[in-house]
């Protein structure tokens, strides 16, 4: 969502490098030590009788008597040519270099020989029995060090792995310390001018900007400022952008992170991250803390099956921090969510996120503004009519529109144009909504013909009923999002309310695709699945939520769960009533299907003509359609809205 996330300045890059270096060096030393220990050569061993023979022939220089052996230094038969310099190296490093035992030192086992001393004295040989140094302590320490090192390395490794899995974006995560996913921007560079068409939201946020500018004005009169505001709305409507704009307008530091960053496997990590975040923010005040997807931590505590200690702790910590900090310092927390209904009530209490700012999908005017803002970023032809594009994109969020402008620019490049033209934009709208054209999909002639009849069925039903929207474009070129063809329809104006008749007309249009297949080919294909889904949902909400059925009247049977996401509903009635509801819905759909069949049978000639025409041309405009429909010239739809019926 954010295009310009910055690397956090407090990232622990440096210690990581040092740590890695130390680890590598330790491993090197360890291996070297082991190698030396195992590759150490023992001095040559001789027979005791040999030793006695050396003694007799006066070749022995020194004898060291050890508990289990005699270490004998012989007088060399000839002088070595030069002394090894290695002996100079201090004992400290001796173990680093594998050392061969001197040539003239030999061993023999220790015989129980009572005459040994006598013999040695007799030959005037120096001898000694060294004190065995107590190496116990040293060895133990060495061992312990060794194990500690191994364990440390293993921990390091495990943490690395975990960091990769949990932390997502990699990097060593510090237990307890912030995952360095706090994005801090000194200057966001975004202003309210960059946010188009969210006037109400901007109005509510202006006060916060003013407060960040001069908190004294508010404290002087004794007013406490809101500590936080919650931006609520569907994805891609510019919540993040608005939060950045607040920081940009006020010229304060912007901290941002996502609610899901707090949720970790280990209990307590999230909580300490919250603590950390607020500590950092306090040092940088005045500032904005933006927590995206706050529902990830703020989910109501009693709505869960079982318990989730980690999230609960994190939430509690967040609540405690919000209560604890002094708002006069100029720290404002903005949260964003598209599921406000699941938030814990405690989070919405005064003194916490007590302001709620709705960021809705843009209306026509809003869409024009968003398109205008983003059109400035690309080279656009003078002839481009953004209003028309806005007309055909009801329901598109700001992010979709921004994406469309970009797609259009990409298309213009592909077409080797120097600037974006209207047709690039039109293509982009279709790409965003239905996916790219799938030219390589080969349909059999029969399939293609059925699709053509199906689409013309939709279009005919739409045009024949005056309550339905006129047609803009019909195509049977498959698209990557799975459609085999579709009809684009457009309203003259944007509607925020629909009458029962309009809804029924819409269901008839949806049914007409399958109806055309049945009227002409007497078959049923899978192509109607999307139509069926939409029609059923529509019919169901007519009965359960809009009070449009005779049977239930104004009784509400279902309620919306998360209206900013998929708009899922929950049934609020008994199973029996639920079954009756299903029957009622079935009735509406059957009724509409019959009407669609009748309508197409009446217009069978037109259906045939138009479908064959579409079959040959693959894409036809609303104008062409109307011409054929009326059997002569006519005005086609003026402006069109994209309402894809697959
Ligand atoms: P949200 O946080 O609501 O999911 P974002 O703020 O991340 O959405 O929006 C994503 C992108 O969409 C923005 O970076 C911006 O380019 C574009 N956008 C969304 N809404 C608007 C708007 N009202 N005005 C201008 N651009 C917008
Ligand atoms: Zn269809």
10 Å CB burial of residue 617 (0-12, 13-18, 19+) is middle
Annotated catalytic residue 58: no
**Cβ atoms of residues 229 and 208 within 8 Å:** yes
468 — phi, psi (to 5°)?
Answer: -90, 165
User: How remote is the CA of residue 388 from the centroid of ligand 2, in Å?
Assistant: 25
Residue 523 has pLDDT above 70, yes or no: yes
**pLDDT exceeds 50 at position 642:** no
pLDDT for the residue 5? 39
pLDDT tens sequence across 411-446:
999 999 999 998 899 888 888 877 777 666 677 888
Tell me the pLDDT tens digit for each residue of 575-595.
Answer: 899 999 999 999 999 999 999
End-to-end Cα spacing for the chain = 29
642 or 459, higher pLDDT? 459
- What is the structure's pLDDT at 439? 66
Ligand 1 atom closest to the Cα of residue 235 is 4
Residue 339 Cα to ligand 1 middle (Å) = 17
The answer on pLDDT for 168 being more than 60 is no
**For residue 88, with 0-12 CB atoms within 10 Å meaning exposed, 13-18 middle and 19 or more buried, which class applies?**
exposed
456 band by pLDDT with thresholds 50, 70 and 90: very high
- Spatial CA neighbour of 345 closest among 309, 291, 277, 299: 299
Q: How far apart are CA 562 and CA 115, in angstroms?
A: 101
- Between 632 and 538, whose confidence is greater? 538
- Shortest-distance ligand to the CA of residue 528: 2
Which residue shows structure tokens 């529902």? Answer: 295
- The finding on whether 239 has its CB within 6 A of some atom of ligand 1 is yes
Of the listed ranges 31-45, 100-114, 298-312, the one predicted with least confidence: 298-312
CA of 517 to the centre of ligand 2 (A): 10
Q: Which of 421, 427, 430, 455 is catalytic?
A: 455
pLDDT score of 608: 92
Report which ligand 1 atom has the smallest distance to the Cα of 359: 3
Give the residue whose CA is nearest to atom 9 of ligand 1.
238
Q: Please work out whether the CB of residue 236 comes within 6 Å of at least one atom of ligand 1.
A: yes
pLDDT greater than 80 at residue 65: yes
Top pLDDT among 145 and 17 is at 145
Higher pLDDT: 521 or 489? It is 521
Tell whether the model's pLDDT for residue 178 goes beyond 90: no
473 lines ligand 1 (CB under 6 A): no
Is 70 exceeded by the pLDDT of residue 257?
Answer: yes
Name the residue of 244, 402, 409 to mutate for ligand 1: max ligand atoms within 8 A of Cβ: 402
Are 532 and 588 within 8 A, CB to CB? no
The 10s digit of each residue's pLDDT in 316-345 is 888 888 887 776 777 888 999 988 888 888
To test ligand 1's pocket by mutation, which of 231, 358, 398 has the most ligand atoms within 8 angstroms of CB?
398
pLDDT, position 3: 39
Q: Which atom of ligand 1 is nearest to the CA of 196?
A: 24
- Ligand nearest the Cα atom of residue 336: 1
**Which of 168-172, 293-297, 461-465 comes out lowest in average pLDDT?**
168-172
Task: Answer yes or no: is the C-beta of 1 below 6 A from any ligand 1 atom.
Answer: yes
| pLDDT confidence tier of residue 1, bands split at 50, 70 and 90 | very low
Does residue 196 line the site of ligand 1, with CB under 6 A? yes
Tell me what pLDDT residue 518 has. Answer: 93
Assigned token pair, 441? 């999909």
Q: Is the CB of 587 under 6 A from ligand 1?
A: no
| Confidence grade of residue 450 (pLDDT, cut at 50, 70, 90) | very high
Tell me, what's the pLDDT at 56? 85
Nearest CA to ligand 1 atom 27: 398
Has residue 13 got a pLDDT over 70?
no
Pocket test for ligand 1, best of 232, 238, 335, 369 (most atoms within 8 A of CB): 238
Cβ(370) – ligand 1 distance below 6 Å: yes
Beta carbon of 237 within 6 Å of any ligand 1 atom: yes
Confidence at residue 592, expressed as pLDDT on a 0 to 100 scale: 95
**Res 521: pLDDT:** 92
Q: Which ligand is nearest to the CA of 244?
A: 1
Least confident of 1-10, 15-24, 382-391, 401-410: 1-10
195 within ligand 1 shell (Cβ under 6 A): yes
Residue 175 has pLDDT above 60, yes or no: no
HEC states along 400-432? Answer: HHHHHHHHHHHHHHHCCCCCECHHHHHHHHHHH
- pLDDT confidence of residue 145: 87
Of 255, 258, 264, 262, nearest to 287 by C-alpha is: 255
- 509 pLDDT more than 70: yes
Percent over 90 (pLDDT), the chain: 20
Whose CA is closest to atom 11 on ligand 1? 399
The pTM of the full predicted model, rounded to 2 decimals, is 0.63
- CA 461–ligand 1 middle distance (angstroms): 37
Centre of ligand 2 from the C-alpha of residue 407, in Å:
26
The 3-class secondary structure across 519-560, one letter per residue, is HHHCCCCHHHHHHHHHHHHHHHHHHHCCCCECCCECCCCEEE
Which atom of ligand 1 approaches the CA of 1 most closely? Answer: 7
Ligand 1 pocket check for 336: Cβ under 6 Å: yes
Look at the alpha carbons of 312, 317, 323, 327 in this order and tell me if their dihedral is positive or negative.
Answer: negative
**Where would I find the beta strands (DSSP E) of 434-545?**
471-475, 486-489
pLDDT of residue 638: 36
b/e per residue 285-312 (b: at least 16 CB within 10 A): bbbbbbbbbbbbbbbeeeeeeeeeebbb
Give the ligand at the shortest distance from the Cα of 458: 2
Average pLDDT, rounded, for the chain: 80
State residue 16's pLDDT score: 67
Ligand 1 contacts CB of residue 197 (under 6 A): yes
Residue 70 banded pLDDT, cuts 50, 70, 90: confident
pLDDT band at 285 (very low <50, low <70, confident <90, very high): confident
Query: If you measure from the C-alpha of residue 454 to the centroid of ligand 2, how many angstroms do you get, rounded to a whole number?
Result: 6
The CA 601 to ligand 2 mean position distance, Å, reads 18
pLDDT of residue 467 exceeding 70: no
Mean pLDDT check: name the lowest of 106-120, 300-314, 400-414, 576-590: 300-314
d(CA 620, CA 487): 10
Q: What is the pLDDT of residue 590?
A: 96
User: Which of 50-59, 88-97, 182-191, 292-301 is least confident?
Assistant: 88-97
Q: How much distance in Å is there from the Cα of 445 to the middle of ligand 1?
A: 44
At 524-572, the pLDDT tens digits run: 998 889 899 999 999 999 999 999 998 888 888 888 777 776 667 788 8
Instruction: Report whether residue 399 contacts ligand 1, using a CB cutoff of 6 Å.
Output: yes
Beta-sheet pairing, 253-258 with 287-292: parallel
In which band, very low, low, confident or very high, does the pLDDT at 607 lie, cut at 50, 70 and 90? very high
Which atom of ligand 1 approaches the CA of 336 most closely? 2
pLDDT of 101 strictly over 80: no
* Ligand 1 center–CA 196 separation, angstroms: 9
CA distances from 239 to 205, 351, 366, 492 (A): 12, 21, 15, 30
Residue nearest to atom 5 of ligand 1 (CA): 238
């Amino acid at each position: 969502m954010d295009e310009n996330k910055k690397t956090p300045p407090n990232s622990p890059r440096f210690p990581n490098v040092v740590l890695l270096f130390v680890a590598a060096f330790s491993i090197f030393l360890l291996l070297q030590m082991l190698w030396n220990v195992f590759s150490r050569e023992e001095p040559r061993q001789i027979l005791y009788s040999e030793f006695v023979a050396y003694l007799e022939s006066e070749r022995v220089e020194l004898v060291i008597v050890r508990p289990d052996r005699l270490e004998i230094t012989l007088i060399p038969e000839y002088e070595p040519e030069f002394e090894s310099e290695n002996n100079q190296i201090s004992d400290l490093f001796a173990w680093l270099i594998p050392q061969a035992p001197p040539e003239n030192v030999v061993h023999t086992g220790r015989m129980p020989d009572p005459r040994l001393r006598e013999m040695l004295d007799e030959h005037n040989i120096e001898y000694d029995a060294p004190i065995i140094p107590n190496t116990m302590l040293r060895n133990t320490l060495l061992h312990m060090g060794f194990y500690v090192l191994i364990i440390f390395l293993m921990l390091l490794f495990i943490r690395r792995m975990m960091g990769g899995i949990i932390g997502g974006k990699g990097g060593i995560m510090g237990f307890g310390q912030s995952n360095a996913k706090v994005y801090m921007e000194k200057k966001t560079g975004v202003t309210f001018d960059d946010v188009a068409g969210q006037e109400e939201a901007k109005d509510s946020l202006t006060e916060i900007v003013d407060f960040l500018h001069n908190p004294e004005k508010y404290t002087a009169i004794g007013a406490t400022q809101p500590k936080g505001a919650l931006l609520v709305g569907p994805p891609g409507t510019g919540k993040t952008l608005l939060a950045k704009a607040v920081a940009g307008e006020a010229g304060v530091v912007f901290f941002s992170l996502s609610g899901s960053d707090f949720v970790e496997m280990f209990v307590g990590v999230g909580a300490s991250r919250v603590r950390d975040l607020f500590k950092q923010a306090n040092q940088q005040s005045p500032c904005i803390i933006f927590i995206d997807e706050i529902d990830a931590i703020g989910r109501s505590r009693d709505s869960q099956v079982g318990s989730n200690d980690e999230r609960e702790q994190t939430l509690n910590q967040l609540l405690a921090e919000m209560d604890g900090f002094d708002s006069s310092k100029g720290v404002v927390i903005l949260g964003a969510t598209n599921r406000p209904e699941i938030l814990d009530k405690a989070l919405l209490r005064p003194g916490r996120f007590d302001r709620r700012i709705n960021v809705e999908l843009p209306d026509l005017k809003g869409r024009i503004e968003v398109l205008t803002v983003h059109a400035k970023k690309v080279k656009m032809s003078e002839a481009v009519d953004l209003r028309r594009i806005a007309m055909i994109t009801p329901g598109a969020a700001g992010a979709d529109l921004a994406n469309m402008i970009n797609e259009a620019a990409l298309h213009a490049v592909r077409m080797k144009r120097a600037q974006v033209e209207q047709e690039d934009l039109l293509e982009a709208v279709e790409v965003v909504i239905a996916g790219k054209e799938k030219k390589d999909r080969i349909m059999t002639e029969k399939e293609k013909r059925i699709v053509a009849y199906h689409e013309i069925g939709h279009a005919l039903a739409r045009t024949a009923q005056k309550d339905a929207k006129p047609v803009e474009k019909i195509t049977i070129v498959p698209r990557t999002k799975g459609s085999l063809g579709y009809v684009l329809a457009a309203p003259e104006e944007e509607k925020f309310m629909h009458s029962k008749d309009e809804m029924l007309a819409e269901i008839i249009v949806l049914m007409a695709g399958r109806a055309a297949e049945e009227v002409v080919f007497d078959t049923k294909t899978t192509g109607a699945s999307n139509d069926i889904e939409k029609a059923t949902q529509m019919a169901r909400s007519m009965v359960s939520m809009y009070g449009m059925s005779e049977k239930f009247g104004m009784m509400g049977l279902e309620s919306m769960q998360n209206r900013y996401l998929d708009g899922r509903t929950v049934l609020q009635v008994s199973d029996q009533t639920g079954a009756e509801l299903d029957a009622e819905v079935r009735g509406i759909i059957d009724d509409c299907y019959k009407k669609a069949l009748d309508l197409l049978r009446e217009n069978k000639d037109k259906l045939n003509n138009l479908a064959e025409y579409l079959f040959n041309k693959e894409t036809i405009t609303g104008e062409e359609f109307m011409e054929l429909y009326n059997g002569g010239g006519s005005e086609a739809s003026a402006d069109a809205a994209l309402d894809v019926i697959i």
